[in-house]
Structures are given as C-alpha cells and as structure tokens.
Amino acid sequence: MKPLVEKLLLKEAALRKVQYDTEWFYYLEDMALYLKEDLSEVEFIHLPMVIDGEEEYVRCSTFEEILRGRKEYI
C-alpha cells in the first residue's frame, strides 16, 4: 500500500481536487488511479469539478476519509 502525505498530494498536478468549506476534497477516480487501489469503500460526496472543460458532479473525498476507507478495506 502506497503511503500518503497530504502535503504531497496537494502539489500533485495529476490529482484533481477542489476546496470546499475550507477542506480539500480529492476526485476519487484520480486517487484510485494514483494509488492503483480500489477505493469503492471510501465515503464520498458529490462536488462540482471542471473536467475536460465542462462542470460535472463527481465523487470526492477528504484525505481523512480516504485513509479511513483504505484501512477498513485491508
């Protein structure tokens, strides 16, 4: 399992993210590809994000939710 450091994730250009209510939310599809893991057990909310020039509502999670979901999945 790849270790996660939020400071590095915030700088990672390949990961789409959005700040909502003072917290960063990561696009789960990008995180799953980045980690090469199934993140289907991670709790998420739908947030608007611009993808390929169009606004879409996508599944996003906080750093803490991703960590919690990964631990529960193991």
Q: Is the pLDDT of residue 71 over 90?
A: no
pLDDT of residue 70: 84
Do residues 28 and 64 make contact, with C-beta atoms less than 8 angstroms apart? Answer: no
How far CA 1 is from CA of 10, 47, 59, in Å, comes to 19, 27, 22
In the block, residue with structure tokens 């991703």: 66
Show the beta-strand stretches assigned E in 1-53.
17-20, 23-27, 45-51
Query: What average pLDDT score do residues 64-69 get?
Result: 93
pLDDT in tens, 10-66: 999 989 999 999 999 999 999 999 999 999 999 999 999 998 999 999 999 999 999
